[in-house]
Amino acid sequence: MKKVLLLLLLAGACCSIAHAQLSAGLRAGALSTSYWKLDVPGGGNRLLTRPQFGALAEFAVSGPFSLRAELNYAPKGDAWYFPGGPENQREEISDQFNYLEIPLLAKYSFGTGALKPYAIGGLYFARALSNKYTEDGKTYDFEDYTKGDFGFQVGGGASMPAGPGRAFAELRLTEGLRDIDAFQDGTRTRFRGLGLSVGWMLDLQ
């Protein structure tokens, strides 16, 4: 009986998606990240900003409510500094991860005019493709970290008609929930970031 109910629910969900309005598009922008609460004795850390881009599909489910899935290239990392050497000169180090990221988001649009503000939020899952570690101007491949990551994203934006589709601009906060343990010394290394992007979507149905 439980299997039958599950199959009916899945069938109903598939039918709802099949009848929902489907849009697809592209997005690009910049993502600034750092390690959350990284403790650097005598120094500090700062945001590392790098370009991001990706593709998205959006299903208009009911009225102003829609669901979005994305596939993004989302580089993340951190840059920090601390005194070093006999003359106490400032030394800078950075970690740069290249992630393939899949956000699964819910979106709620406001208003009925051409310009439509919206709120968006949900979970993301990511897999690191590589990591570069830079110290004293030299860059190295670094493999001693957890490649999988997940967390949540919340933000807002606005869209407006642009040609046959709609253009949008969006600001989004990313909060990592997994300690990637890049240093394996007890340091907390969850990512936190802020991304600004623009994009364009085209209705397919």
What is the domain-level CATH number for residue 184?
2.40.160.20
Residue 34: which pLDDT band, with cuts at 50, 70 and 90? confident
CA atoms of 103 and 171, how far apart (whole Å): 14
pLDDT of the residue at 189: 75
Q: What tens digit of pLDDT does each residue of 128-183 get?
A: 988 887 777 777 777 667 788 999 999 999 999 999 999 999 999 999 988 876 55
User: In DSSP terms, which residues pair with 71 in a beta bridge?
Assistant: 55
Average pLDDT over residues 25-34: 94
pLDDT of the residue at 100: 96
Range of the domain at 44: 23-203
In-domain check, residue 11 = no
CA atoms of 163 and 140, how far apart (whole Å): 45
In-domain check, residue 163 = yes
In-domain check, residue 18 = no
Cα 104 from chain centre: 10
Residue 188: which pLDDT band, with cuts at 50, 70 and 90? low
CA atoms of 192 and 151, how far apart (whole Å): 9
In-domain check, residue 3 = no
Judged against a pLDDT cut of 60, whether residue 15 lies above it is answered with no
Judged against a pLDDT cut of 60, whether residue 71 lies above it is answered with yes
pLDDT of the residue at 20: 61
In-domain check, residue 132 = yes
In-domain check, residue 17 = no
Query: Tokens representing 173?
Result: 């906060």
Q: What tens digit of pLDDT does each residue of 86-131 get?
A: 555 666 777 888 999 999 999 999 988 889 999 999 999 999 988 8
pTM: 0.80
pLDDT of the residue at 87: 55
Cα 101 from chain centre: 7
The alpha-carbon radius of gyration of the chain (Å, integer) is 20
Judged against a pLDDT cut of 60, whether residue 8 lies above it is answered with no
Q: How many structural domains does the chain have?
A: 1
What is the share, in percent, of the chain residues with pLDDT greater than 70? 75
User: In DSSP terms, which residues pair with 58 in a beta bridge?
Assistant: 23, 68
Cα 183 from chain centre: 23
